[in-house]
Structure 1
Amino acid sequence: MGTEEEKMSCYADIPVSSDEEVCSIIGKAVVDLSITGQPVNKATLGLKLLAMADQDQDDERILLYWIARRAISQPHKFADARF
């Protein structure tokens, strides 16, 4: 693992196009929750993203799910790391 600063610095290395992918992943999770009649909040989104990551085999996409979960749970840290 590493310090919180080291973890956050990894965001700076992700291309801007990945921001769009993270937003798309979050959007898909919201739609999936809505379709199944589940409430949409931080907790349910986090669990849905975790489930989506468990079903994916692509390491880069799994990282994007992790980033999406982090962005939802701690948006201020995500924003600070991106700008």
Structure 2
Amino acid sequence: MKVGITEVAGRAGVSEATVSRVINRRQGVSRTTREAVEQAMAGLGYERQTQGQLVAPVTRGRSADDGRRSEGAAVLGRATAQHGLTQQRTCG
């Protein structure tokens, strides 16, 4: 069974949101809490899952399937398109 942030949060005694902030190196987490989460991750053998992170729309409080995409997803789409154009120009 893969260990998820729910298990890490339970072991560290924090919320899943706090675990997410630690994983993504966000601000707003004290050093003591960050260390507790990191210890829990190591103790449980947590491995960060990276599949899908680049293609999932950023929802900012909305359901991902309500038909709207946030600005974050749109920016990613433009960046991906620009990268593709750059690759075409340099490779072909």
TM-score scaled by length of structure 1: 0.25
- Name the larger-Rg structure: 2
Higher relative contact order (Cα pairs below 8 Å, separated by 6+ residues): 1
More helix by share: 1
TM-score scaled by length of structure 2: 0.23
